[in-house]
Chains A and B, each alone.
Chain A
Amino acid sequence: MESKGHREVEPSDAALACRVQRGDRDAFEILARRYLRPVYAVAASFLTNPADREDAVQDAFLRLVDGIQQYDGAQPFAPWLYQIARNAARNRRASGSPEMVEYSEADEVADPVPDPALHTERVDARELIDRAIGRLPEQQRTMFRLFEVEGYTAVEIEQLTGVSAVTVRSHVYHARRRLRAALEAKLGQETE
């Protein structure tokens, strides 16, 4: 996710991908530098453990190199990489401990697995929200994290994921509502 000015002096993603197809290490390094943070952010929307995130990032880039011969230079590179990163993080999460359990509709009313720590006066709002974010549906969670936590704009997220900016905003809207509802259910007026 580079600025336009930056991209003018750097080779395009497709050109770099073509060089990686021929085994160009420098091209791969440029791509890795360019997309390390977005891929890390995607991994962070699935995984809370930093070591797991790093493993997922490595999985994603290795799968990228492994499948680079199938990459069609006419197609946008970033959404292709995003799909790889998402699958890598999802698989890493599935193979590990179930650290994030997605919401069901009932969760907005009552938490079926109450955590005593969440009911104490000393509950940290950040921790509470972090857990709540982790339980959002996958697409909402990813879009919310990229938009609200990582600070990407909706247009940047569209370029990265291939999901339209309007849909990104819609996911963020619903994520905010769910988080607000979850917080109000747990902390009452503290969130106001």
Chain B
Amino acid sequence: MMNQDNPEPLPREWLPESASAFADRLGVEPFLLRRLLGAAEPLLARYRAEDARWWAPLATRWRPMLAGAGAAAALVLGFAVERAVLPASETPDPVLAASFSDGDLPLFWNASHGGADPVLTVVALQEGIP
């Protein structure tokens, strides 16, 4: 194991007391263990709390996929809302239509996308409006 010219070990009695012997002599170990456990407990408690959340592993492992799915869902929802809202937004403003027609009832009706109104049709026929 050792080389032939390896210097002789120093006499054990010349060497310092081992840390283990010192710890045994002064009973350091039980005290130090209690101290370590006490000091580490807040961190361990935090880990336990994080582990207790059942979704924590999912959130960690699937976070990128969840983010993508969330973005896709937001897009789909956005389109759906836009479609639902669009017909109402396309309904002409009656004030603008009245202003545009300048008193001309058929023009007003056309401007307001009203289509064929029975009353206006009768009025138009009676007045000879083309």
Contact = CB atoms under 8 A, between A and B. Distances in A.
A173 B6 contact: yes
Nearest to A55: B35
Interface string B29-45: 10011011101110111
Name the interface size band of chain B: 35 or more
A173 B3 contact: yes
Contacts of A62: 36, 39-40, 43
A37 B23 contact: yes
Contacts, number: 113
Nearest to A27: B44
Nearest to A126: B14
Contact of A23 (B2, B10, B22, B46): B46
A-side interface mostly: helix
Given A22-B48, A148-B15, A149-B15, A37 B37 contact: no
23 contacts: A21-B47, A22-B48, A23-B45, A23-B46, A23-B51, A25-B37, A25-B44, A28-B37, A32-B36, A33-B33, A36-B32, A44-B22, A58-B35, A61-B39, A61-B40, A65-B40, A148-B15, A154-B1, A169-B1, A173-B2, A173-B3, A176-B8, A179-B10
